[in-house]
Amino acid sequence: MKHNRQLVFLCSGSDCKGAGAKSIKKELKSELKSGSLKGRCKLIETKCLDMCKSAPVGIVENFFCKKTTSSQFINEIKKALNVQG
Ligand code: FES
């Protein structure tokens, strides 16, 4: 079955959680509920991606977002989806 939503991955391993993945998840979830990404993207939490030195780590469109922040990560998703704002 074809999926119309962009899949994004966020590591939820302990190092990434300690480095801010929890707040990235929280902000992304609120963007997915009511922001411009609503219905356009699906967050999948992963186990450790074995890149802990670059924590927090996410993946958008086959690219790693290393040492990312919530605004950087959300901007990368918006770029991938051609969403403004
Ligand atoms: S805990 Fe996230 S890459 Fe290892």
Interval 42-80: pLDDT, tens: 999 999 999 999 999 999 999 999 999 999 999 999 999
Q: In the prediction, which pLDDT does 51 show?
A: 97
Distance in angstroms (rounded) separating the CA atoms of residues 68 and 55: 8
Residue nearest to atom 1 of ligand 1 (CA): 13
Cα(77) to ligand 1 centroid in Å equals 20
CA angle 45, 1, 76 (to 5 degrees): 40
Pocket of ligand 1 (CB under 6 A): 11, 13-16, 48-52, 55, 57
CATH assignment of 6-81, among 3.40.50.2300, 2.40.10.10, 1.10.1740.10, 3.40.30.10: 3.40.30.10
* Cα 75 to Cα 2, 5, 27, 47, 84, distances in angstroms: 25, 16, 12, 23, 9
* pLDDT tens per residue across span 5-36: 899 999 999 999 999 999 999 999 999 998 88
Distance in angstroms (rounded) separating the CA atoms of residues 32 and 59: 16
User: Domain locations in the chain?
Assistant: 6-81
Q: Are strands 58-60 and 6-11 parallel, antiparallel or unpaired?
A: antiparallel
